[in-house]
Amino acid sequence: MHNHVAEILPGRALGAGAGLAAAAACIACLSAGVSSAPASAEGARDAHVHYACSGPHSASVPCHFSTPSGNIRCLWTPVPNNVACERLVGGRAYRLRPTGKAKRIKLRLRRRGQTLPTNQQVVFPDSLSCHDTNTTMTCNQDFGLGEFELARRGSHAA
* 55-72: pLDDT as tens digits: 888 889 999 999 999 999
- CA 56/CA 143 separation, integer angstroms: 26
Residue 49: its pLDDT value, please?
Answer: 60
Pair type for strands 114-115 and 63-66:
parallel
> Residue 119 pLDDT > 50, yes or no?
yes
What are φ and ψ of residue 27, in 5° steps? -65, -40
Burial label for 17, CB within 10 Å (0-12, 13-18, 19+), is exposed
> Residue 138 pLDDT > 60, yes or no?
yes
How many other CB atoms are there within 10 angstroms of residue 100's CB atom?
A: 12
CA distance to 14, 43, 59, 110, per residue, from 52 (Å): 47, 21, 12, 18
- CA 155/CA 5 separation, integer angstroms: 42
Average pLDDT (97-105) is 95
> Residue 6 pLDDT > 60, yes or no?
no
Q: How would you classify residue 123: left for phi > 0, otherwise alpha for psi between -120 and 50, otherwise beta?
A: beta
> Residue 35 pLDDT > 60, yes or no?
no
pLDDT band at 32 (very low <50, low <70, confident <90, very high): very low
- CA 98/CA 144 separation, integer angstroms: 8
The secondary element (H helix, E strand) that includes residue 71 is none
CB distance 17 to 31 below 8 Å: no
Residue 38: its pLDDT value, please?
Answer: 41
